[in-house]
A and B are shown apart, each in its own frame.
Chain A
Amino acid sequence: MSTTEPTARIPASLRTEALEQLLTERGLVDPAVMDKFIANYETNVGPLNGAKVVAKAWTDPEYKKRLLDDGTAAIKELGFAGPQGEHIVVVENTPTTHNVTVCTLCSCYPWPVLGLPPSWYKDPAYRARVVKEPRKVLSEMGLDLADDVEIIVRDSSSEVRWLVLPERPAGTENLSEEELVPLITRDALVGVAKVQAP
Chain B
Amino acid sequence: MTAPLAIDGPAAPPRSNGELVFAEPWESRAFGMAVSLHDAGAFEWSQFQAALIARIAAWEKGHAEGECWNYYQHWLGALEDVLAADGTVFADEVTARAGELAARPAGYDHRDDEEHGHGHGHGH
Query: Footprint of B on A, CB under 8 Å?
Result: 1, 3-4, 6-10, 12-23, 25-26, 28-30, 33-35, 37-38, 41-49, 51, 83-84, 105-108, 114-119, 122-124, 158, 181-182, 185-187
Chain B residue nearest to A111 (CB atoms) is B35
Chain B residues near A18: list those with CB within 8 A.
94-95, 97-98, 100-101
Question: Is there an interface contact between B71 and A38, defined as CB atoms closer than 8 Å?
Answer: no
The list of the 9 closest CB pairs from A to B, nearest first, reads A46-B14, A48-B14, A34-B32, A18-B97, A6-B91, A13-B26, A18-B98, A3-B122, A16-B26
Question: Is there an interface contact between A38 and B53, defined as CB atoms closer than 8 Å?
Answer: no
Whole-angstrom distance between the alpha carbons of A29 and B37 in the complex? 6
Task: Please give 8 more A-B residue pairs, beta carbons under 8 A apart, in addition to A84-B45, A106-B56, A158-B49.
Answer: A19-B30, A19-B76, A20-B33, A23-B37, A33-B39, A38-B22, A51-B14, A106-B49
Contact of B16 among A16, A23, A118 (CB under 8 A): A118
Q: Is B65 an interface residue (CB 8 A)?
A: no
A-B contact count (CB 8 A): 184
Whole-angstrom distance between the alpha carbons of A114 and B17 in the complex? 11
Contact of B33 among A1, A34, A45, A124 (CB under 8 A): A34
For A30, A43, A185, the residue with the greatest tally of chain B CB atoms inside 10 Å of its CB is A43
Interface size class of B (residues with CB under 8 A): 35 or more
Question: Is there an interface contact between B16 and A186, defined as CB atoms closer than 8 Å?
Answer: yes
Chain A residue nearest to B81 (CB atoms) is A6
Chain B residues near A118: list those with CB within 8 A.
16-17, 19
Chain A residues near B29: list those with CB within 8 A.
16-17, 20, 34, 38
Contact of A33 among B1, B36, B77 (CB under 8 A): B36
Whole-angstrom distance between the alpha carbons of A118 and B14 in the complex? 12
- Once A3-B121, A12-B76, A20-B29 are accepted as A-B contacts, the answer to whether A116 and B98 lie under 8 Å apart by CB is no
Chain B residue nearest to A187 (CB atoms) is B17
Whole-angstrom distance between the alpha carbons of A99 and B112 in the complex? 55
Whole-angstrom distance between the alpha carbons of A51 and B17 in the complex? 12
